Structure formats: C-alpha cells, structure tokens
Structure 1
C-alpha cells in the first residue's frame, strides 16, 4: 500500500460494497486519492494512514452513490402542477401546454439545479436525464458536481426547442460538442417514445448511436394504452416494432417497460437492453406494476429511476428503492421477490451497468471512482440496527443522508450542499411559481 498522504479517509461503521452479494464490511476505512478509491482496509490498519481529511462516521453506512436511471430534472419546476390524472391526459392537457409556455434555457437550468440539490441531499450521485435545452442541463451538472447523463429528446412535433426530429438531432449534436471532454457529463440520444417517434427517425437514431458511440434512452411500454394503440396502428406491439428497427441492444435504456409478456421479457434478455424501473411514477399515474422479478430472473439488467417531479413529486431514490422492493413483492404475492440487497444493486451497480460505466462507479472497490454516500443510522427511526442493508432499503429516509461524494469531492457535508446555494435555488423556484401562475396554469 502507498503510504504517502491521501486526500480523504472515511472510517465507517458499515460499508455496503455491492461487490459481492450481501457483502457488508464492518469497521473499515476507505482511502481516497485523486478522486478514486485507493484502498479499503480494516479501521485498525487505517489508524496510521495520513490524509488531508479524516472522517469518523462510526454510526453510518457508507455505500455507492445512488444512480437515478430515468428522470426529467427540469420538470421539478412543474412539481404539483397537475396531479391525479391519467398519463395521456396529464401530458396533453397540462404538462405539454405548460412546457410550451415556459420551457427555455433558464427554465431548464434553474429546474435542473433545484432537482440536483434535492437528489444530492437524498444520496443520488448520478442522473440519467431526458429533456430539452441540453446545454443548460449540462451546465447544471457542472454547477452541482453531479455525474450527469444528458438525454437529448427527439420527437416528430415542434416544441420550444426544435421544429422536427431532424432539428432535435442537429441541435443535440451541436450542444454535445461544447461538453466533450467533461468527465462528469455524457450526452445520450433520447427518442421520446414509440408513439411520438417515426420509423425513419428511430433508424436515424440507431445509426447515429453507433457512429457516435452514444447510448439510447426511450420510454417504452409504459401503459397498456400505449401498447394497444401501437398494435392497432402498426400491427405489432411497440417492442416488436423497435426490434425490427434495430433499437434493441445493450445501448438501449428502456424506461418503464411495465406491460410485457413472457416473449418480450425473453426478447429484452436476448438483446441485452437495460430497464429503468420507476415504481412511484408508475403507481401515481396508474400505469401498472412492472414484472421486475421475472425480468431479473431472465437476466435482464434492471435499474431504478424517479421519473420527473411532475409525475412523482419527489426525487427520492431511497424511497424509490424501497418502493421497488415492496411493489415487486405485492405484484407477485411473493415476499422473497427483490430482497433488500438486490434492491440496492438495482439502485447502484445495475444503473452503472446500464450506462456502461460499471467499471468506474456503482460499487465500493479499489480503483473505482469515489462516488459514495453516508447514511446516519443513529436516529430513533433506525434503531436498533441489526442489519444495515435492511435499514437502508426499508427504514432509512433521505434526511439521514449526511455526506455525498462524487469523484472524491464532497458535494454534501453534514447535510450542507457545498456547491449549490440552497437559498438562491429556493428564490428562483418561487420566482418560477409566480411566472407560471401568472400565465394561468
């Protein structure tokens, strides 16, 4: 072991590594240098190591940062604007009209920064986003320090951002060039959904993704209505259509995938795509219960997402992880479906695998980036602590997240954000509330 000074040493009561199933290290220390985990040793061995900062978190779980595999960060400014609606009614009657009146560069930047503050305070270190004005989203990621996947939305119809599918694609690639080389910023192609994107556009996306080595992020099989309408209009279910268009591959992150039959589960496994499971949004919009247990048993990689705050109302990955575990149990009437450690894997390493960066983040291992969080289990709500894995999934709340690091940089320290100005964000959110109300929403 290298003996010269580290940047940070974190002494933890428990470390959930997500390296081996059910692996929990007790009374160990993590040594960080240049943004990476350089050593993981028993606390007794760490006593002689030197670092610029030594933290003693003797009541805490330290674990990989949570990876939000599907979100629309800027829509935080539309939180609570329209609730208790069916998906298509919610979109066409409320959300799309509001976006048409307000979405522009400053809306996206302010909304994304607000979302990132919320996510960091809840232990999320990476967001896989999908929206418009991608430069603004990337700048928010740089401002917050979060690892940010900027999904470039592509549709056939005009919005404030683009006139048609070709315009969306051109603008996405132009904005992407500005941020090439930024280690924490990655652009993806995000055709919205089978019901908003044509065959020709999907073909262009597949070709472009291969040429530019980009991921594809798309809503698929979110509702029964979507599947039924697709079958009526094209003669096949949407997933079969996308297969024929070449979309199904390990590049694809399919958001929702609620309504699947056995053949489609096998198809997803065979083509190696990943699924972003959004349990709370799916429940709130009454979209249904995704067959997560069957997907996992088939070998499909399933991660966890919050969706946007306009359809979920909070961007709380700990709550989402808990909900994903519970919903799988009640959906199958099987209490062993999605155990606690599996749920944690879904919210960490599975998300990293979907994004093609599981060699860099998603678990606590020597050589990986120090994207870590600490959760304080000393409160009455999590006492006594028999099993830290169980507590993280079933008992702990986001208010117990005390520290967050991305690439070794502390972005949350003792519940205080280090980069983002909380008061300024709240003032901007209030300003946007007045603007939206003034336009009659």
Structure 2
C-alpha cells in the first residue's frame, strides 16, 4: 500500500508540473526560419513535407548507411514524393528511434493527426502539409495549440547579416557577425567589397573596416536581439587578443589579396573578433556562439570540439563585460558548460537544438544545472530549424524533458513542488526576456 501511495504521489507531481510546463510559452532562442512569404512563394508542386527531413534527419540517414547520392535524391525537389520516400524507407527502421525522427513524428501527429510516418501515410501527410501552409501559418504553428512559442530569434542564412522581418515581434533577428571578422571562404563569409557595399564605404585600411562594422551596428544594433557567430565550424574559439598595431598590416595584405599564412589570418580574425565583440557589448547585445556538436555528417573534428570549453573560459576572462550565450549545451561537453556557467558571470547556457541531439543528456543537464548554477543563466529551448512545422515536435520533446527533470528534483527532495513550479517560467521564457531585453 505504501508503494502504491508513493506511485500515486509521483504521478500527481508529474501531472501538476507538466500542466504548468504545458501552459507556459517558450521564448525560442534560435531558429533559421525563412520569412513566411518566402515559404508561400514556393509552388505546391515543388513543396513537399519530406523536405523537412533534410536539415537534420538526413544526417542520421547518412550515419545509418545512406550514401551521398541517396541524400541528394532525398533533397531533390524535382523528384516526386514517392521517389524521395524510396530513399528513406530502407533505413527508416534504423533511424526512427532517434530524436530527430521522433520530433518529426510528433510534429506530424500534432499538426496533421497522423500517428506514424510510413509508405501508407506519406500522401496523406502531403495533403495535410499543403492545407496547413497558408497565410498566418507561422503564428498558428507557434500558437498554444501547437508549439506554444511566444517569439523566436532567427539567425538568417539567406546571405544578409540581418534580415528585416515581416513579422518582427514573432521572428526577432540576430545580427550575424561572421562577415565582420572571419575570412571570406567560411560559412556565411562575405567579401570585403560585398559586405561594405551597403555602408557605401571604400575600404582601404583597417580603420575603414571598423567604420563598416560600426555602420552595421548603427543600422541594426537597436533592432537585433543578439549577435551570432557559428565560426566554430571553421576554427577553434581561441580568439586571443591581438593589438591593432599587429593587425593593421595584416588587413592591408588581405585587401590587397596577398598570400597570408594561417598564423597571420588567425591573428587578423582574433583582432577583428575582439573589435566586433566590443561593439556588441557597447550595444548591450549578447554574443551567441555555436559550441559543441556539428550539424552535417562525416566532418566533425572532435579534438577541436573538445577544446571548446577551455576556449570559452578564456573568452569570459578576456571579455569580462560581455555576456556570452554558449549554444547547443556544448554537447557532448555539457559538464564543462555547467562549470563555466557556475564560475563565470558572463557565461549563459543555451539548450537550443540539444533536445533533439540527445534528449536524455539534455534532461540530465537541466536537472544538474538547476542544483548547481544560478537560475537566471539557463535558456531551455531553441529549435534550430528551417521549417516552422518542425518546432512543434521539438518543443513537445523539450516540454517533456523539462517536466521530467523538475519532477525528479521534487521526488529526490532537492525542490519542493512549489519551488519546482516557480522555476518553470524563468527557464522557459523569463530568462530569455531578461537576457535579450525583450519587453
């Protein structure tokens, strides 16, 4: 009888916490969503729900054995839905266990009322997908009926450092700083000429380049919620300080397109990163940095990823007045991120993307975080998606993980039920509003 009573108590705790989590909106701290009008401009004949498998799920397919030719077919919008599904079906059983697949299945179930993804349902999913895709569907996807997201923060990948959104209160924007400091050939890298063109500044020296950077902050610093760099895909995060006197002649070599050593290029990047971070700090903008796990396949240099936490610690010490938002839980080095956020005033832990990389690790990280580091430096959700529909399943996984972590903390007597309930609003939306200055 005592065991049964304990089980009933556990169920009651779970129900109350989950209900609180369900009713609380997320502030979504990281997406790559295009504008709704861009989605609607795609002809229905070219727009298939199976494209939602492209950004992440196809990486798991490659890991399970799909070759790159097969992946190209999956992403080819000229092929029929059935031709594209034929690529997925042989490996579906090997990958449907992953959170990438689970999130997609949850989205399909919540949005379209279809319980599973299989050959027998793909046409029905397509029909429902096109029915949902109409004016206002972004707000509908973010409504309390589905993802329950109050607003999201978009890191645009369309080539512009900042996008003027048609729905600025829903799709808030990051300012990409990669073109301000990184070499041209990196992800989102732009040439000096192309990047300076909107500012109408002829760049002949490093001082001119400062003016270009300044121009972007004048134009967008008040509109952006943060600045963002994913340059961890290209190099270490060891942006050690480099003086202007050393960087200026290196910049001249760059604009003259003279050959530069890797050491010289890195020193120039370090200096310009420091200038850019200083400008972001002047505008009171948090600096979002990709850390940890790589999207994609067959290309993650784990030795470099393992160096992220040490570099992140040095950043906090070299820029003590800057607030760094370390993204993706620094997976699989979340223990080190926990130590950083506990120790450094400027370190913020962002769990964006983490719930579908490794939901068990994410749940455990949140549980550990809440008994280790200050409550006001944890952000618990960002979908990191290109399709708004995908945020629905991802948010569902995150809500379950948050509720489970808090339930376990109550059961283990770290928190009272009242304390656990009080934590929900800050970690789901309150912290983000404070950190990113959202009214």
Superposition TM-score, scaled by structure 1 size: 0.48
More strand by percentage: 1
Q: Which has the larger radius of gyration?
A: 2
**Structure with the larger helix share:** 2
